[in-house]
């Protein structure tokens, strides 16, 4: 039996007193320390103390000594770069993420070290990893064998080293490591562990334990349509600075943010000072994807057929000056039949315009000669009597063809046949054999010596030399002996098509941020009336005759289903090595507009170093024109059909506060509704009104439901969806633009990703 007087074992009261005293003493010490830090060390903790060096201000190096162990440093927060769209809001240049892949031997040893697994098991794992890496990346990295990966993993695992397997080659998209690759690696079966429900034993989640493969993300710019308009869209990377990416960089780049932190005794402590980055704005170009596709395909096919060196096509909307397509293709070295975007030929190529410049001479002639139909001039062959300063004459014989003897023709026939002698004779008659300055002054009135400012940089003036030598005067009349940007030729042809109104080319229509349009652009009017109305009317008839006339150089490709007008051009190529023209290779072009009676588009085709004459350029122009007009007719048919029905966001929940405003903006009568539901939807229903059907909006209330335990925001507009999810405590990531189509929930992480369309 137990003795009631026996003392039970327990804790000594003295010991309990000591423990209580120590706890109180520790608490008091903590309180004192907190007070000390709050009142005496607050400056140090905030990075403003006298012993703390702020490296974000100038001259901080002078304050550093050997005992300094407190620094305020700053991390740059990178903004998202703005994206580039076509005239219908389709992405032309966007942001993309690629990865650098590295192997951490030390982390591998920690996760799969010999204390957990045998050496044989580790070797087996490395064999599997090497085989899977080879399988996934053999197409992009054919030089790397399975043994290469095995040796790399084994060596760095044993040496406990960190090694980069695939560096991020931002300039070579064929070797990019994408999110598809990272997901493949993370979800390899032997690197994934299953999380089971304790009660049912069912798999409720999978976790990747691929902690020894590191992925470092890098932002890159991507063009979803490959080579199409790549040069115009441009780049802004180091030495490669051109196109919209470069000239609109201030708009696209956004503003960097910053986040300061305190580095105290090699420990990093975040500070409150933070400036969030401002994302770049989006630019909406004038380019049209369908037109760009037609231009790119037709030009590349013809360049391959002719084995040309390079070619350029530009399409401008006549009334607005908007550039709808621009293609600059050059034969890739070492690939005879492959052409890629290589240079901004449209703005920067130094080329002789050739016979397309005869339109400028024709305009100058008609501004002096009102009665052009009564004039007759020599064609094919002629001997010019060139006056000298002494009053004598020098005979200069010129020949355009193998036809012998002089043949006379009207200005219209000369223009149709594209006679160099004829056009020069017309200018000499109108301005005088010794009055090149007067002819040049008339060209100046047409704007050929003005610099045109565009959103892709300045367009330089025509390089016509200001001297009175006969050969220079003679060659200028038909576009020889001087250079002019290809785009400048298109500008004045477009002025003829646009009833004399000359516009500068426009590449960007407007700029938007996340919420609204913040800037709009319109084409600059260079001249309200390029030439007189009488000259303009005659010039249109001359350009018609080149394609539709009896002697027109473009008559072979006339097409009544897509009538166009314009002027051909052929120039021999100047060979620097021999110091003379190479008559076997040509630069050919055609510039014109379509449809010819009511022009909607003006375009120029220019191909360099081809064995044929200008007819091949007319062929390309005609095919592009037919493709564009067919596409536009198709779009017009659809727009007529759909115009009868007013637009409506059916099935899309709309916040009831904005519902009637939205209805009125879309042309409907406002409606009354009484409901406590936060959102309303609308459906169009037919009703009989005076024996005819009429569509009216029928409003229905919509209460938020749940999707996988999360507020269901599918079909909602992005702003409302984000508001609802944020209110429910979820972090939201948006992908795309428009209305929410797909909702991916990560309930455990309190994250939701929304895919918009």
For residues 132 and 659, what is the distance between their CA atoms, to the nearest angstrom?
54
Decide: helix, strand or coil at residue 586: strand
Q: Which domain holds residue 265?
A: 46-77+258-280
Please indicate, yes or no, whether residues 392 and 439 belong to a single structural domain of this protein.
yes
CATH code of residue 720? 3.30.10
Please indicate, yes or no, whether residues 693 and 717 belong to a single structural domain of this protein.
no
* Domain limit, last residue, from 684, 702, 720: 702
User: pTM of the prediction?
Assistant: 0.73
Q: What is the pLDDT of residue 33?
A: 73
Question: Looking at the domain assignment, is residue 24 inside a domain?
Answer: no
Q: What is the pLDDT of residue 637?
A: 39
Q: For 303, how many CA atoms within 13 A lie in the half-sphere containing its CB?
A: 29
Q: What is the pLDDT of residue 642?
A: 38
Burial (CB < 10 A; 0-12, 13-18, 19+), residue 268, is: exposed
* Domain limit, last residue, from 196, 222, 248: 222
For residues 720 and 436, what is the distance between their CA atoms, to the nearest angstrom?
69
Cα–Cα distances in angstroms (integers) from residue 677 to residues 680, 698, 708, 724, in the given order: 7, 16, 21, 13
Please indicate, yes or no, whether residues 420 and 487 belong to a single structural domain of this protein.
yes
Best CA proximity match to 523, nearest among 223, 255, 316: 316
Average confidence (pLDDT) per 10 residues, the chain, 757 residues? 55 79 86 69 59 73 68 81 90 90 88 74 89 92 93 90 89 85 85 66 59 87 85 84 90 86 72 80 93 93 91 96 94 74 85 93 91 86 82 79 73 93 93 90 93 92 87 92 93 96 95 87 94 92 94 92 93 78 85 94 95 92 92 49 45 68 61 69 64 64 78 81 82 79 82 81
Peptide bond into 475 cis (omega under 30): no
Question: Looking at the domain assignment, is residue 19 inside a domain?
Answer: no
Please indicate, yes or no, whether residues 533 and 677 belong to a single structural domain of this protein.
no
Q: For 595, how many CA atoms within 13 A lie in the half-sphere containing its CB?
A: 11
Question: Looking at the domain assignment, is residue 372 inside a domain?
Answer: yes
For the CA atoms of 242, 247, 253, 256, the dihedral, rounded to the nearest 10 degrees, stands at 100
Please indicate, yes or no, whether residues 615 and 687 belong to a single structural domain of this protein.
no
CATH code of residue 609? 3.40.710.10
The neighbour count for residue 265, using CB atoms within 10 Å, is 6
Please indicate, yes or no, whether residues 544 and 675 belong to a single structural domain of this protein.
no
Question: Looking at the domain assignment, is residue 34 inside a domain?
Answer: no
Phi, psi angles (nearest 5°) of residue 320: -110, -20
Q: What angle do CA 484, 488, 490 make, to 5 degrees?
A: 125
Residue 608 CA to its chain's centroid (Å) = 27
Conformation bin of residue 30: beta by default, left when phi > 0, alpha when psi is -120 to 50: alpha
Helix, strand counts (H, E) of the chain: 21, 37
Please indicate, yes or no, whether residues 596 and 625 belong to a single structural domain of this protein.
yes
Structural domain count of the chain: 5
Please indicate, yes or no, whether residues 453 and 540 belong to a single structural domain of this protein.
yes
Question: Looking at the domain assignment, is residue 620 inside a domain?
Answer: yes
For residues 565 and 625, what is the distance between their CA atoms, to the nearest angstrom?
11
Please indicate, yes or no, whether residues 68 and 172 belong to a single structural domain of this protein.
no
Question: Looking at the domain assignment, is residue 38 inside a domain?
Answer: no
Q: What is the pLDDT of residue 598?
A: 92
Question: Looking at the domain assignment, is residue 37 inside a domain?
Answer: no
Please indicate, yes or no, whether residues 119 and 50 belong to a single structural domain of this protein.
no
Question: Looking at the domain assignment, is residue 616 inside a domain?
Answer: yes
Please indicate, yes or no, whether residues 678 and 619 belong to a single structural domain of this protein.
no
Decide: helix, strand or coil at residue 604: strand
Q: What is the pLDDT of residue 680?
A: 75
Please indicate, yes or no, whether residues 671 and 743 belong to a single structural domain of this protein.
no
**What is the DSSP secondary structure assignment for residue 137, as one 8-state letter?**
H
For residues 757 and 755, what is the distance between their CA atoms, to the nearest angstrom?
7
């Amino acid at each position: 039996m137990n003795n009631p007087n026996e003392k039970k074992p327990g804790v000594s009261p003295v010991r309990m007193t000591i423990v209580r005293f120590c706890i109180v003493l520790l608490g008091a010490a903590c309180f004192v320390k907190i007070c000390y830090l709050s009142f005496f060390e607050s400056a140090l903790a905030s990075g403003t103390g006298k012993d703390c060096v702020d490296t974000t201000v100038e001259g901080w190096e002078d304050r550093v000594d050997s005992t300094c162990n407190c620094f305020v440093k700053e991390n740059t927060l990178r903004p998202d770069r703005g994206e580039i769209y076509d005239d219908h809001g389709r992405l032309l240049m966007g942001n993309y993420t690629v990865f650098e892949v590295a192997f951490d031997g030390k982390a591998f040893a920690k996760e799969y070290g010999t204390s957990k697994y045998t050496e044989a098991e580790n070797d087996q794992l490395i064999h599997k990893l090497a085989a899977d890496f080879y399988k996934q990346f053999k197409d992009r990295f054919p030089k790397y064998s399975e043994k290469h990966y095995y040796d790399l993993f084994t060596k760095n695992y044993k040496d406990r080293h960190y090694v980069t397997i695939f560096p991020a080659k931002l300039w070579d998209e064929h070797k990019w490591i994408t999110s598809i690759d990272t997901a493949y690696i993370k979800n390899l079966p032997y690197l994934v562990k299953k999380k089971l429900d304790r009660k049912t034993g069912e798999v409720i989640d999978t976790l990747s334990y691929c902690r020894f493969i590191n992925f470092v993300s890098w932002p890159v710019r991507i063009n979803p349509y490959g080579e199409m308009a790549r040069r115009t869209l441009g780049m802004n990377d180091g030495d490669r600075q051109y196109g919209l990416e470069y000239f609109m960089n201030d708009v696209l780049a956004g503003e960097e943010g910053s986040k300061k932190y305190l580095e105290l005794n090699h420990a990093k402590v975040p500070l409150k000072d933070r400036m969030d980055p401002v994302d770049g704005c989006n630019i909406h170009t004038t380019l049209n994807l369908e037109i760009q596709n037609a231009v790119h395909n037709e030009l590349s096919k013809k360049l391959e057929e002719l084995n040309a060196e390079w070619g350029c096509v530009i399409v401008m909307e006549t009334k607005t000056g908007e550039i709808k397509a621009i293609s600059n293709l050059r034969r890739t070295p070492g690939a005879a039949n492959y052409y890629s975007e290589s240079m901004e030929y449209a703005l920067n190529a130094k080329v002789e315009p050739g016979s397309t410049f005869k339109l400028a001479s024709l305009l100058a002639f008609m501004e002096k000669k009102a009665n052009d139909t009564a004039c007759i001039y020599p064609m094919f062959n002629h001997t010019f009597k060139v006056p000298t300063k002494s009053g004598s004459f020098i005979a200069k014989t010129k020949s355009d063809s193998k036809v012998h003897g002089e043949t006379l023709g009207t200005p219209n026939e000369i223009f149709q046949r594209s006679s160099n002698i004829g056009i020069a004779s017309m200018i000499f008659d109108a301005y005088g054999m010794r009055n090149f300055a007067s002819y040049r002054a008339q060209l100046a009135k047409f704007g050929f010596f003005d610099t045109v400012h565009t959103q892709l940089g300045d367009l330089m003036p025509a390089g016509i030399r200001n001297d009175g030598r006969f050969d220079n005067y003679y060659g200028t009349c038909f576009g020889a002996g001087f250079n002019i940007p290809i785009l400048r030729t298109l500008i004045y042809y477009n002025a003829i098509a646009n009833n004399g109104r000359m516009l500068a080319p426009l590449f960007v229509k407007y700029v938007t941020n996340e919420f609204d349009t913040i800037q709009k652009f319109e084409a600059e009017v260079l001249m309200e009336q390029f030439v007189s109305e009488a000259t303009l009317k005659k010039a249109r008839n001359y350009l018609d005759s080149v394609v539709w006339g009896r002697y027109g150089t473009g008559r072979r490709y006339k097409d009544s289903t897509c009538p166009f007008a314009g002027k051909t051009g052929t120039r021999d190529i100047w060979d620097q090595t021999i110091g003379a023209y190479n008559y076997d290779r040509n630069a050919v072009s055609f510039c014109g507009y379509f449809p010819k009676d009511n022009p909607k588009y003006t375009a120029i085709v220019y191909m360099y170093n081809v064995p044929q004459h200008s007819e091949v350029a007319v062929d390309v122009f005609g095919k592009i024109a037919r493709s564009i007009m067919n596409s536009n007719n198709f779009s017009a048919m659809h727009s007529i059909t759909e115009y009868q029905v007013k637009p409506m966001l059916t099935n899309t929940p709309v916040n009831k506060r904005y519902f009637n405003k939205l209805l009125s903006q879309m042309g409907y009568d406002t409606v009354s509704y009484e409901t406590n539901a936060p959102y309303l939807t609308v459906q169009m229903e037919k009703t009989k009104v005076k024996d005819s059907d009429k569509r009216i909006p029928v409003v229905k209330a919509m209460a938020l439901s749940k999707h996988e335990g999360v507020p269901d925001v599918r079909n909602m507009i992005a702003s409302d969806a984000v508001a609802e999810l944020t209110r429910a405590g979820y972090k939201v990531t948006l992908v795309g633009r428009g209305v929410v189509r797909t909702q991916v929930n990560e309930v455990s992480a309190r994250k939701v990703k929304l895919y918009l369309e």
